[in-house]
């Protein structure tokens, strides 16, 4: 789009503002674009709210808009719609929805962050398109906007010129991807390094985190097991050892775990270890053998088998994919 265009043609990014917006939905992407400018990109950043009104964020901070949403004219490179968890209030704001709809028509691409998918969906522009939002809100988006094809797991989804991201910090992932698209991976990587964030987070929302999305158990024994495995995935978590550690029989632990977590102890341990290995592969350069030992798999071959079975790729391939923000487009067969 703007790659190699130089600073004579700035890419205009308009960030929509409205009351009770998530502060990080706004500042996260804007910081990415600002950091990219320091690395050779050329973005012009503009904030716009209905009537150019100051808005109050969820964090209690007030943000002043540069311009009224309805007064932005000309070609917009990227329109970004952040979110508020009380999405019903956002979609009932007629001036906001009208302003987003009008600006989307002027924009080369349109992005939403977290619950920002709701006001974007309210314009009708996501009808028939794939979209992402925060995992806690995915069901509500699908129920209230049935013409939107909700992807409940992806960190961000692109369908044509519309890009939508998952919860809060995923707006940073989305912005880095846009920087890579506009000015190349070197600029995006330099911006990510400056901000001390991952270049990308391969995988889906379901991995953030296995412990977090497991059913919340009532029984203290089960909670102890969950916390112990999460705190140290590389420890000995064989079924017999775990049962002995919490003072119950293997049979009782198996029954409790299935009833309260919905999976076996062995399955939970493997999921946590895969998650730990993903983090090590994404953030470091340790050998696969060391990653396997540190995450609890013991050997590179065991790690490889688990990754192939659960993720469909080898650990080496997973690490290689982490070097770019690009998300593969659905194959023709998958699309149909």
Tell me if 48 sits within 8 A of 67, measured CB to CB. yes
Dihedral in degrees, nearest 10, Cα atoms 187, 193, 198, 202? 30
| Model pLDDT, residue 326 | 54
Q: What is the pLDDT of residue 6?
A: 43
Query: Which residue, chain included where needed, has tokens 């050892």?
Result: 241
Please choose, from the candidates 90, 104, 107, the residue with its C-alpha nearest in 3D space to the C-alpha of residue 21. Answer: 90
pLDDT tens digits, residue range 51-86? 999 999 998 999 999 999 999 999 999 999 999 989
For 162-172, the pLDDT digits (tens) are 999 987 678 88
Distance of alpha carbon 264 from alpha carbon 250, whole angstroms: 11
The contacts of residue 51 (CB under 8 Å, 6+ apart) are: 68, 69, 70, 95
Q: Can you tell me the distance from the alpha carbon of 282 to that of 323, in angstroms, rounded to the nearest whole number?
A: 9
Regions of the chain where pLDDT drops below 70 = 1-8, 168, 198-217, 321-336
* Helix runs in 232-299, H state only: 239-246, 250-261, 265-283, 288-295
pLDDT at 334: 37
Sort strands 162-165 and 156-159 into parallel, antiparallel or unpaired: antiparallel
Stated length of the chain? 336
Nearest to 30 by CA among 20, 16, 51, 9: 16
For residue 92, CA distances in Å to 80, 87, 89, 123 come to: 19, 9, 5, 11
Please tell me the predicted confidence (pLDDT) of residue 261. Answer: 84
Q: How many CA atoms lie within 13 A of 175 on its CB side?
A: 36
Q: State how far the Cα of 50 lies from the Cα of 274, in Å rounded to an integer.
A: 45
């Amino acid at each position: 789009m703007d790659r190699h265009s130089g600073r004579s043609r700035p890419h205009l990014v308009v960030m929509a503002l409205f009351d009770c917006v998530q502060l990080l939905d706004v500042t996260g992407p804007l910081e990415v674009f600002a950091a990219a400018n320091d690395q050779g990109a050329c973005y012009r950043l503009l904030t716009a709210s209905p009537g150019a009104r100051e808005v109050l964020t969820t964090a209690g901070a007030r943000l002043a808009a540069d311009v009224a949403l309805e007064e932005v004219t000309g070609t917009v490179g990227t329109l970004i719609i952040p979110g508020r968890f009380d999405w019903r209030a956002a979609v009932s704001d007629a001036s906001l929805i009208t302003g987003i709809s009008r600006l989307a028509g002027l924009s080369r691409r349109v992005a939403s962050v977290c619950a920002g998918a709701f006001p974007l969906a309210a314009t009708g522009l996501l009808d028939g398109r794939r979209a992402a939002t925060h995992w806690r809100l995915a069901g509500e988006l699908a129920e209230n906007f049935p013409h939107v094809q909700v992807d409940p797991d992806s960190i961000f989804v692109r369908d044509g010129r519309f890009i939508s991201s998952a919860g809060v910090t995923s707006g940073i992932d989305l912005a880095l991807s846009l920087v890579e698209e506009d000015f190349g991976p070197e600029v995006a990587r330099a911006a990510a390094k400056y901000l001390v964030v991952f270049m990308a987070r391969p995988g889906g929302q379901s991995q953030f985190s296995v412990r977090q999305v497991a059913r919340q158990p009532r029984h203290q024994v089960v909670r102890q097991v969950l916390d112990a495995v999460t705190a140290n995935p590389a420890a000995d978590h064989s079924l017999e050892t775990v049962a002995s550690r919490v003072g119950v029989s293997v049979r009782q632990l198996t029954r409790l775990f299935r009833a309260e977590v919905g999976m076996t102890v062995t399955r939970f341990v493997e999921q946590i270890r895969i998650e730990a290995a993903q983090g090590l592969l994404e953030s470091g350069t340790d050998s696969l053998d060391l990653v396997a030992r540190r995450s609890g798999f013991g050997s590179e071959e065991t790690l490889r088998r688990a990754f192939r079975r659960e993720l469909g790729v080898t650990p080496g391939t997973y690490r290689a994919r982490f070097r770019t923000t690009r998300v593969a487009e659905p194959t023709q067969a998958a699309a149909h």
